[in-house]
Structure 1
């Protein structure tokens, strides 16, 4: 007797209710933070190109801190090394959630978004390398166009007043989460200098203590805050970028709730820090990282010098080709069936939107090009590439917004007013299970 053919999974289909609720909560915070981020970037550009640009540079380069601990840093470095560590802590929590209860928890569900995200990192890096090599430039910036800025992308969607279905938003979030993991690995491996193994050993010991405290269910911020700050400082003095400490602690936080527990430590920490990360930490970093001088000559150099041109092409062309091709091939390889209510044009629009690489791209640009004049060109390229990707994505998404509006209305309809959309109860009757809890 022949075996029954394996049922094909649906790509970008209806999210499980719990997953959709968690994704919606995360994206709501990111959207508000993205709008603040957008405003901060605009302020930085206007300020840096105004008669008060000298004041901007003085504030950005002002040093303060504790010299004895090797922490006498400029305001710009405090935002990059300090505040962004909170951003990466939240990113680590989100990655842990995806690995434990989200889209990345099983190989079957993880394969497609991981392949898409990896292709979306490899192709931009390769395109940058080809462009830089062909123009006789430096390969240092190969990692700059690899990262997607989820907050900036969601801000674009908010400005457009789109009705993007939850499955598309969740896929974009998963891509960004995997991107963040790739970025932190790249920073940890390729952007380390003058390693101090004593300090790194202290940072590792701090992470081990952090894990033990979690293991034995020790609670109380007075344990974790001093330990986290000490681990961060030791990581910084060890020569590894301090943001690595943030993502490591995020991955160590317990995600699964114990019996009778209202929220896990990861959930509580994310609830407290996510608004600060999205609304304060990342915008302040953008304020002091995005302030580049804009002139006809500087804009022209973005498209004539190989390194910034490679960044622009990597973000606009490389991200689109990598994510779309990776998604299409992975769907064929895993025999996934695209949601019949959507089209591959929707995946293409999402791939273009993922070319908005702002926060992490600016951070890697500063690390890859420590010379201020070189860094200015790379920052300008990141801004121009992100704006081009945002504009193209806006055109593609707006063209399909009528379809998205209809799908969102179906997802939100709750005629019996029980708090759970009717579409999940229909799924419940079809599958014979608890549709809202699937």
Structure 2
């Protein structure tokens, strides 16, 4: 059906995915804060369903965070694999800048949060909350605002965000895993091995892989390791390089099919049941009044910007790495500010970090929303300024006042052009002098004696 094709193609673009995510977050805030609907939001979010015998009797919000979000991480795993085998991460020299920027962009927010929490006597449990960058939101803002910016900026941000996601996944796996069930973990690993073997043998068919993926996910969830790790692991196993005669690799083909599901359903539903926090005057005051929540805001807004920009500058300053010729340092700073949008993964880590303090969890979620919004607005302003400059440069490059088909900016800086024009002017001057002499001679003849 043409309508369905149009919809799925739209969902594959960062702009549409980011807009849907934003709409879901706004809907959650409205639903949770309207007096007539607030209780229904809590009721739906905490409604439990699922097979208790399998340890999967979860709330709706839990299903969204642990279940649907695994689809998002599956797509992230494929994107990471593609970058490793065929993208910017394949060449270490090209990858060093965004990789270092991503690492510094995670370390600096954690340090900012820790310093703020220690200064205010708050909990250090949330140190990881401001470390993540939301790919969908950041690329959507860049796509909407940065239409006149160089493509190298998007490539830098995409690589940075993919590396950021990888280390966010490692943080979840290492620091937010407790009470391991080794039997379930062993079953999940065995399922992943089977998944890999089937891929290696070239077995095809969704009816084979989808049930197996669900089993792997359930075992991973019951093992105590966050279930989204299963999605990442399966995404990384897909082959993302093309064999001879292939138009698409299996990874590209699967990502093409699954990305609309992730962008149009999984991530928006997670946002819908995670972003619904109270935004009363008191709650917003707490965001800037408690060390934990203030640390998250400062980590996203200041930590990310300083970390990404500082890491990039130091790498260029003290190594052989160099910035793309298409980028300026003001571009990098705008991108570093944009990296402070930590919506999806930051909300997830916020839930994991304060599971024993529901009130603080909601306040941390509010701080993630505030910090991400501030970072998005600041980045939009910086990108708009850069847009104006690039449009002016573009207009200058296309200026052709003499209508000779060659932009004046190239002619003005071409020595051969200047020499050619000097010869033309000299020839014209000589012609004018000759004509003047001829006309002058004719004048004398006309006015002489008869």
TM-score (norm 1): 0.85
Match of 2:309 in 1: 324
Match of 1:315 in 2: 300
| Aligned partner (choices 239, 243, 262) of residue 258 of structure 1 | 243
Match of 1:414 in 2: none
Match of 1:283 in 2: 268
Map residues 72-151 of structure 1 onto 2, 5 A cutoff: 72-151=57-136
Match of 1:402 in 2: 388
Match of 2:360 in 1: 374
Map residues 18-33 of structure 1 onto 2, 5 A cutoff: 29-33=13-17
Unaligned runs of 5+ in 2: 1-8, 397-450
Further displaced range: 394-403 or 96-105:
394-403
The structure number with the bigger radius of gyration is: 2
Residue 298 in 1 paired to residue 283 in 2?
Answer: yes
| Aligned partner (choices 240, 245, 248) of residue 233 of structure 2 | 248
Map residues 344-359 of structure 1 onto 2, 5 A cutoff: 344-359=329-344
Count of residues in Structure 1 that have an aligned counterpart in Structure 2:
387
Task: Output one character per residue of 1:122-155: Cα deviation in whole Å (capped at 9) or x when no partner.
Answer: 0100111111111111110000000111211233
SS at match of 2:102: helix
Q: Over the residues paired in the alignment, what is the CA RMSD in angstroms?
A: 2.0
SS at match of 2:57: strand
Alpha-carbon distance in structure 2 between the residues aligned to 1:332 and 1:217: 47
Alpha-carbon distance in structure 2 between the residues aligned to 1:245 and 1:85: 7
Task: Output one character per residue of 1:245-292: Cα deviation in whole Å (capped at 9) or x when no partner.
Answer: 000000011111222223211111100111111121111100110000
Shift of 1:343: 1.9
Match of 2:438 in 1: none
Structure with more contact order per residue of length (Cα contacts < 8 Å, sep ≥ 6): 1
Answer whether contact 1:355 1:389 (CA < 8 A) is retained.
yes
Residue 36 in 1 paired to residue 8 in 2?
Answer: no
Match of 2:328 in 1: 343
Shift of 1:304: 1.2
| Aligned partner (choices 60, 66, 91) of residue 51 of structure 2 | 66
Alpha-carbon distance in structure 2 between the residues aligned to 1:167 and 1:264: 25
Match of 2:183 in 1: 198
Shift of 1:338: 3.3
Shift of 1:334: 3.5
TM-score (norm 2): 0.83
Match of 1:231 in 2: 216
Answer whether contact 1:112 1:334 (CA < 8 A) is retained.
no
Alpha-carbon distance in structure 2 between the residues aligned to 1:274 and 1:407: 36
Alpha carbons of 1:339 and 1:409: their partners in 2 closer, same or farther (altered >3 Å)? farther
Alpha-carbon distance in structure 2 between the residues aligned to 1:103 and 1:161: 21
Answer whether contact 2:146 2:384 (CA < 8 A) is retained.
no
Alpha-carbon distance in structure 2 between the residues aligned to 1:341 and 1:234: 47
Answer whether contact 2:146 2:383 (CA < 8 A) is retained.
no
Match of 1:383 in 2: 369
Answer whether contact 1:292 1:380 (CA < 8 A) is retained.
yes
Alpha-carbon distance in structure 1 between the residues aligned to 2:325 and 2:345: 34
Answer whether contact 1:195 1:239 (CA < 8 A) is retained.
yes
Shift of 1:64: 0.8
Shift of 1:223: 1.6
Alpha carbons of 1:347 and 1:71: their partners in 2 closer, same or farther (altered >3 Å)? same
